[in-house]
Amino acid sequence: MAKRAAPEVNAGSMADIAFLLLIFFLVTTTIEKDKGILRSLPPIDDSQTEPPIIKQKNLFTILVNRDDRLLVEEEEMDIKDLRQAAIDFLDNGGGVNPEGESCDYCRGKKDPESSDHPDKAIITLKHDRETTYGRYIEVQNELVAAYNFLREREAQRIFNRSFASMLEEKEKNQFNKDEKLNADIQRIKDMYPMKLSEAEPDKS
């Protein structure tokens, strides 16, 4: 029997086939990264202590009704004005904090009719059960944006860097703590503590 040499298979089209598959997977891959607004819920408090009395001027009341309209401090407001209104309220600094210090970093109008000190300023948000979630998130977003704006401003003033970059650095070394950085972040946070209370919607 004659020994026949096996014919060589042409592998030239192998690259084409592989490319085809590659392109398919490239297109279908979604390297998904979820993002969102991070918030903390208040822990449940069973103690029967009287809630402290808060002066009306230190409260910034936002109501969202079932038609998604906003009532801010008893006036109707458009969502796009909410951020500035919240910044003005938080940054007002018209009085003193519980320790009796006045707010020397606030740049607001120092209106005695508005909030005393960022330490005391509280934003309360109440929504109806039938408010759409989309609108609720919009409102949350504007309020978080107001706090972030003020914290960013102070971080630039004191540390000459952005607050976001500080948080990022903290995140990167989360398992070996940098005490100084943490203290700096805490200092900024304490200047404008996020006091955002949410009322339970009425049961109907």
For other proteins, the binding residues (CB under 8 A) are 11, 14-15, 18-19, 21-22, 25-26, 28-29, 31-44, 64, 127-138, 140-141, 144-145, 148, 198, 200-201
Strands 75-77 and 70-72 come out as antiparallel
Other residues' Cβ atoms within 10 Å of the Cβ of residue 195: 16
Beta carbon nearer to other proteins, 97 or 148: 148
Phi, then psi, of 126 in degrees rounded to 5? -130, 135
Q: Is 166 in a helix, a strand, or coil? A: helix
CB of 25 to other proteins, least distance (A): 4
Beta carbon nearer to other proteins, 15 or 158: 15
CB of 75 to other proteins, least distance (A): 22
* Buried-state track 172-190, b at ≥16 Cβ within 10 A, e below 16: eeeeeeeeeeeebbeebee
CB of 71 to other proteins, least distance (A): 15
CB of 111 to other proteins, least distance (A): 26
- E strand or H helix at 172, and its extent? helix 163-172
